[in-house]
Structure 1
Amino acid sequence: MKQLPSMTNTYLFETSRLGFRTWQNFDLDVFAAINADPEVMRFFQKPYTREETQAMMDRMQRLYEERGHCYFAVDLLDTKELIGTIGLGWKTFEADFTPCVDIGWRIGKKWWNQGLTSEGAQACLDFARQLGIKEVFSYATVTNHASIQVMKKIGMHFCYEFDYSELKDFPHLRQCTLYKIAL
């Protein structure tokens, strides 16, 4: 599915292959398709509906307005296709490491295994440094080996495993691994 280019084509920051921006209304169809894919969402409670995707995009816009960062919309620069999201969140759930800035990602299957997530995550850490953020956390279900590999690739260090309180009703997802990097 082709992504329509934004009218301004203005990115907050770029890598050699990726452009990072805030969310636009025209992102909904592509991002909803990514979020509806059971394989992409296998480490989440369930695939997202179109409405849940819109709510996530709206939350990210508010987070960007409040904190200057969010899980950004990420385009492949060559084609202007939306590949998914990579960025910085703000976590406040009950844990001994929260509240904290976290880094996370979700990209469509078409773009897996091309180094795009690691490239984008590294750019987000650089952006976090520019914002004066001193440390960033990331966590994933212990069986999400691809995400854990990205954490290691971008220089994050293992802290410990924990039971994620918001996944108490999902025993197969509840055990998570926590990584951290000082900036």
Structure 2
Amino acid sequence: MYTPTLNTRRLILRKFNENDLEAFYDIFSDKEVNHFLPWFPLKNLDEAKSFYQERYASIYQKKQRYAYAICLKENNTPIGYINIDLDESHDLGYGLKKEYWHQGIISEAVKAIIQQAQKEGLNYLTATHDIKNIHSGHVMKKSGMHYCYSYKEHWMPKNIPVIFRMYQISLDGKKRIYQKYWNQYEHFIEENI
């Protein structure tokens, strides 16, 4: 398996590498960028190197194909990331440096990774967002994902209660709803999402 480089109008989606460590640190150390994510902001370059090894370098040696740095074409320097987990959830996740927020960059990257996943035969993708992170929900909707349900989870390692909205997109035309979070947590369906 491999992680093919993807190009969009403004972006290059490619593997992170060790030369990206400072840019990687800038993304994963920012408190605002990482506020709604399941890890604490990184404190130094040593933590960044360990996090890179754990979450990216090790994945690139496995069958995972969807772990990308988001780079602008003008300089090919990472400004964010986008991933799809290849467990049963096929969970889509992303993050972006705040100076690039509200420019459609994440939506552009999401559309490219969805096309690649469909081309390579994934049947569906899911994505979740904290209900307080409304902008992430807008990205999911704009990318063709549909709201399925909400659920309450005690989120670790941050040790806080969070209500998540779960979105999904079918890539093979079959109707299905990923049920794990529905079955595992207190859940409900919100109106007018």
Which TM bucket (shorter chain)? 0.7 to 0.9
TM-superposed deviation, 1:140: 1.1
* Matched AA of 1:48: L
Q: TM-score, normalised by structure 2?
A: 0.77
Mark the runs of 5 or more structure 2 residues left unpaired by the alignment.
Answer: 172-193
Determine helix, strand or coil for the equivalent of 2:138. helix
CA RMSD of aligned residues (A): 2.1
Q: TM-score, normalised by structure 1?
A: 0.81
Q: 1:81 to 1:150 in 2, by over 3 A?
A: same
Pick aligned residue for 1:30 from 4, 23, 26? 23
2:148/2:166 contact within 8 Å kept: yes
Q: 1:121 to 1:134 in 2, by over 3 A?
A: same
Pick aligned residue for 1:61 from 42, 57, 62? 57
- Give the distance between the partners of 2:47 and 2:67, measured in 1 at CA: 15
Identity of aligned residues (%): 29
TM-superposed deviation, 1:57: 2.6
The runs of at least 4 consecutive aligned structure 1 residues that moved more than 6 Å come to none
> Which position in structure 2 is the counterpart of 1:94?
none
Map 1:132-143 onto structure 2 (within 5 A): 132-143=121-132
> Which position in structure 2 is the counterpart of 1:88?
84
- Give the distance between the partners of 2:86 and 2:56, measured in 1 at CA: 10
Equivalent residues, number: 165
- Give the distance between the partners of 1:52 and 1:181, measured in 2 at CA: 34
Is the counterpart of residue 181 in structure 1 residue 169 in structure 2? yes
1:141/1:175 contact within 8 Å kept: yes
TM-superposed deviation, 1:48: 2.3
Determine helix, strand or coil for the equivalent of 2:26. helix
Structure with greater Cα Rg: 2
